[in-house]
Structure 1
Amino acid sequence: MDTPSPTPRPAPRSDLDSAPGSTFNNLDPQKQRRVLDESLREFAENGYHQASINRIVGRLDIAKGSLFQYFGSKEGLFRHLFRRAVDEIKAPLRAIRDADSAEAFPQRLKRVFTASAAFAQAHPFLWGIYRRMLTQEDFPLRATLLSEVRAEALTFFRELVELGQKQGSVRADLNPAIAAFVIEATLDRALTAQGSPLLDAGLGLSSDPNTRQARLDALAEALCQGFSVRSVPSIAKGDVNA
């Protein structure tokens, strides 16, 4: 009589795998969102090492083992949250990039600034985690994750500039990689200033919504003026890797 083969066990989850297990995916979407929201809150308020799984499951009123079953580990949970955040911010920006190709570069850039600022305002915990990662070196996979975010942003802005060059609204002699760096740096500072009067330095980005919008438009316009086609000495393209 043949001995039945044992049921194969699922491979152990890796901390590097950002996808949650099937148990989490089978949860009601509302429960999934609550798990993610409470986890985001914990990491944003306490950083990675001070974040407590016990506090998360306590607020959720679930067993601690359930969270590990969903994500494998604390690091697996954090990695999933970060990946999800990147995907969520990319969606509206891609929509702007892929919109009507006839839309002028200045209008497109202003919409990017507005959408990015709105995202940071609407997702304070996601933005808080990102800011903590910039200043605290003890986050897991910090260099890998931040490098990925920077690469995504620079690629997006470089493509935006290249589209403007094809339209004829951005100088052909402008190095798209350099322009992308300037745009990303300006936007990052503007988003940080939204929540910090000290970094705002009186510009008005941390003020009321109408003033903030006016300042965002002005920043985008200033960049567009520098990138626009006009009779000025050109900036050498150099040999910058995109």
Structure 2
Amino acid sequence: MTSVTDGGGGGGERADARRNRAKVLAAAGEAFAEHGIDVPLGEVARRAGVGAGTVYRHFPSKQALLEAVFARQLDELVASGERRMARSAPTEAFFGFLLEVVGTSGRRGPVCEVVAADGSWPHPLLTASVLRFRQVLTALLHAAQRAGGVRADLGPDDVASFAAGCVSMVGARRDRAAGLGLARLALEGLRPSGSVTEHPVFRDGLASGCAECGAALTVRPTGRPVRYCGATCRQRARRRRLAG
């Protein structure tokens, strides 16, 4: 498999050209994450320590650079997922991978948005990287499910959507550490014991206490939601309604 960071140039490309390409990709990733996708290519060249001509030789357009940056980042995640599968227990590998995807989302966000929104230019490089990412995610998920660590009714699309939601959650918090803490808590819902359908207390419109005296209520799994703790409070509330 040809690595994105190698530039796909093979043996005919000089070593210094490959190094320059890698430096441009790294600098572009940092610049896009810090300042958005409107960063001029001249700034990318400055950060990479190369001339503007070097950037344009490798990436003739901003779109081409965006695609290459995102593909490189996906390939880094793929390599990490493969290492986790080889070195860690299935459930640990799965959740560790998802936390890495969510935790590193800050440097990928702007690039992801552009690539997802722009369908007018070809991205075979990106398509291949996305396919590899999906394959690793699916392998991690199925291994964790076989080990009993993840709900059996989830598929790769469900997990990808869940991870995207966690990324949004982290981005919505000014305190990134707090956002990551919430993401960890949310990811616990992927475990078999996290299924809310097993617990009848999750009912819409359920009162948290007696509407009359505020006492704790006994939850009923079926029937109308409980509003009063007993007959005394129910009659008291009825008399108040009639008097009003």
TM-score of the two chains, using structure 1 as the length reference: 0.58
Superposition deviation, residue 97 in structure 1:
2.4
Instruction: Check the 8 A contact 2:141/2:150 in 1, yes or no.
Output: yes
Q: 1:99 aligns with which of 87, 91, 107?
A: 87
SS at match of 1:195: helix
SS at match of 1:128: helix
Find the counterpart in structure 1 of residue 135 from structure 2: 155
Measure, in 2, the Cα distance between the counterparts of 1:28 and 1:182: 38
Distance 1:168 1:141, change over 3 A: same
Q: Does 1:207 align with 2:175?
A: yes
Find the counterpart in structure 1 of residue 73 from structure 2: 85
Q: 2:28 aligns with which of 18, 39, 55?
A: 39
Instruction: Check the 8 A contact 2:32/2:39 in 1, yes or no.
Output: yes
Instruction: Check the 8 A contact 1:57/1:67 in 2, yes or no.
Output: yes
Q: 1:119 aligns with which of 91, 104, 110?
A: 104
Measure, in 1, the Cα distance between the counterparts of 2:18 and 2:50: 14
Distance 1:72 1:27, change over 3 A: closer
Superposition deviation, residue 188 in structure 1:
1.3
**Structure 1 stretches lacking a partner, 5+ long:** 1-16, 198-205, 232-242
Find the counterpart in structure 1 of residue 183 from structure 2: 216
Measure, in 2, the Cα distance between the counterparts of 1:152 and 1:41: 23
Name which one, 1 or 2, has greater alpha-carbon Rg: 2
Higher RCO, Cα 8 Å, sep 6+: 1
**Which amino acid in the other structure matches residue 117 of structure 1?**
V
Structural RMSD (CA): 3.9
Find the counterpart in structure 2 of residue 128 from structure 1: 110
Find the counterpart in structure 1 of residue 53 from structure 2: 65
TM-score of the two chains, using structure 2 as the length reference: 0.58
Deviations 1:99-124 (A, max 9, x none): 23xx252x333322322233224xx2
Distance 1:54 1:166, change over 3 A: closer
Identity %: 13
Measure, in 2, the Cα distance between the counterparts of 1:104 and 1:63: 46
Find the counterpart in structure 2 of residue 179 from structure 1: 155
**Structure 2 stretches lacking a partner, 5+ long:** 1-5, 199-244
